[in-house]
Structure 1
Amino acid sequence: MSAIALYGRKKPGFEDRLEAALQALKDAAASHPGTIVQATSLGAEDMVVTDLIARHQLPITIATLETGALHAETVALIPRIEAHYGLKVEVYRPVEQAVIEFVQKNGEQAMYESIALRKACCGVRKMEPLSRMLSGRSAWVTGLRREQSNARGEVRTVEADDQGRAKINPLVDWSWNDVWHYIASNDVPYNPLHDQFMPSIGCAPCTRAIAVGQEFRAGRWWWEDESAKECGLHVSQKPAA
């Protein structure tokens, strides 16, 4: 059964949450002209945000991290977005030599050996490219939702990251049903892996399907303690002043 069929039910208050999300994006674009980017993971939430940006012609750049370890289905979304919306997606990749040296030193399976090595892998493949994506920008947009995990339960619509940039999370109050109702209602392209019980999709070695009743992010870094399940992109945030 597709994710739309499973989850795409309209919940009370959806229109209000949609309007609030759109207003947050409009306000952010107006406050950061020419210096705001959507850092999309290409997951369902981020596809909703991309659709809102494109549909309302908001001046927000779309960019993603191509870690070199993503599923083929995830990578294939990049040209689909460009064709569907007529927008260019900026793609940031890790430094090739840094990846080669990490693998030579630690092996292809290093992420399974310790949290430190897994986070080091994330550092090479995600954090360094993200720093280039955000260089010269004063704000970035994410698809974070409070419902995603306990660690994200305090996320706010507007925060400040560790570098003082504004971090805009327009979907903080949205449910998983809201996400899929929007996707179904607006013919939003999405990763077919969501139809295979993968609600949260990262790099291929670190993502697997979840079982009924498991937590939303249970398929990410499943061999680690729940409290460790972040790569560094979305930690140590604080409310914007």
Structure 2
Amino acid sequence: MSIVYSDSVYKECDQINETELQEKTAIDILRWAYGMYDDNIVYACSLGAEGMVLLDLISKVQPGANVIFLDTEFHFQETYQLLEKVQKRFSQLSIHVVKPRISQDEQSKQYGDELWKKDPDTCCSLRKMMPLEKELAHYDAWISGLRREQSPSRKNTQFINPDARFKSIKVCPLIHWTWDDVWAYITTHDLPYNTLHDQNYPSIGCFHCTTAVTDGEDGRNGRWKGMGKTECGLHR
């Protein structure tokens, strides 16, 4: 199910954002999204702090909703531990773990060892972009936890966004939330979260390419440090 992109798609999204959704809350956006797309929308959850909020909100709006987690096979052990907790806590959701078609050994044989150091874009493409592309081909829209506060590249994110990369519509209910808002929600609702957040890891990806940040640093500075890269490509 792919959307053919034209100026009309962008104009339609702009109009909906400006008229129907402008003053809506996150849960309102989710109600709108599931009302619009029903089973043809999926949440791609990275298990970040924002992910815990969205899983809880989605479970209230659409029990049984489809959720995918991209297992690059290079996640921290803390991330896999959180996945087990999430599967138990949100058992009413249909959570699918998606892995790359190429194994770690096959990647090393074809591209050499430590591809993430030599060519992180290709590594992300093999282990994240291509698996997500395959999954999103079955849906008309997908949900993401992007927030405008996260980085300069995300400051113009809207509630609904044409996603030409995946020929889909990307729905972002948390665009106006701050980092404090996210944690207030997690605390209030006693949600599980990745314990690496307690060790100055605001954004958590693969263990090869994620480091802790120092006080005052941008939350994305811990991703691909020193590689001139701040996005895996999913949200460009």
Match of 1:224 among 220, 223, 227: 227
Matched with 2:105 is: 100
Shift of 1:60: 2.9
Shift of 1:143: 0.4
Matched with 1:153 is: 155
1:198 is the counterpart of 2:198: no
Deviation larger for 39-48 or 18-27: 18-27
- What amino acid sits opposite 2:55 in the alignment? T
Q: SS of the counterpart of 2:25?
A: helix
Q: SS of the counterpart of 2:234?
A: coil
Q: Which has the higher contact order (CA 8 A, sep 6+)?
A: 1
Q: SS of the counterpart of 2:35?
A: helix
1:24 is the counterpart of 2:26: no
Equivalenced residue count is 213
Matched with 1:208 is: 211
Q: SS of the counterpart of 2:67?
A: strand
Distance 2:227 2:23 in 1: 34
Deviation larger for 88-97 or 167-176: 88-97
Contact 2:34/2:62 (CA < 8 Å) preserved in 1? no
Unpaired runs of 5+ in structure 1? 1-16, 236-241
Which portions of structure 1, spanning 4 or more consecutive aligned residues, are displaced by more than 6 angstroms?
Answer: none
Change (3 A) 1:35 1:220: same
1:130 is the counterpart of 2:132: yes
Contact 1:33/1:59 (CA < 8 Å) preserved in 2? no
Q: SS of the counterpart of 1:82?
A: helix
Unpaired runs of 5+ in structure 2? 1-21
Distance 2:40 2:61 in 1: 18
- What amino acid sits opposite 1:177 in the alignment? D
- What amino acid sits opposite 1:72 in the alignment? Q
Match of 2:142 among 123, 140, 143: 140
Contact 2:64/2:94 (CA < 8 Å) preserved in 1? no
Matched with 1:70 is: 75
Q: SS of the counterpart of 1:90?
A: strand
Match of 1:33 among 34, 38, 51: 38
RMSD: 1.8
Contact 1:82/1:88 (CA < 8 Å) preserved in 2? no
Contact 1:47/1:188 (CA < 8 Å) preserved in 2? yes
- What amino acid sits opposite 1:144 in the alignment? L
Matched with 1:10 is: none
TM-score (norm 1): 0.83
Distance 1:208 1:75 in 2: 17
Distance 1:18 1:60 in 2: 25
Distance 2:24 2:95 in 1: 25
Matched with 2:12 is: none
1:91 is the counterpart of 2:93: no
Distance 1:60 1:168 in 2: 15
Match of 1:186 among 175, 185, 189: 189
Distance 2:38 2:64 in 1: 7
Distance 2:194 2:88 in 1: 15
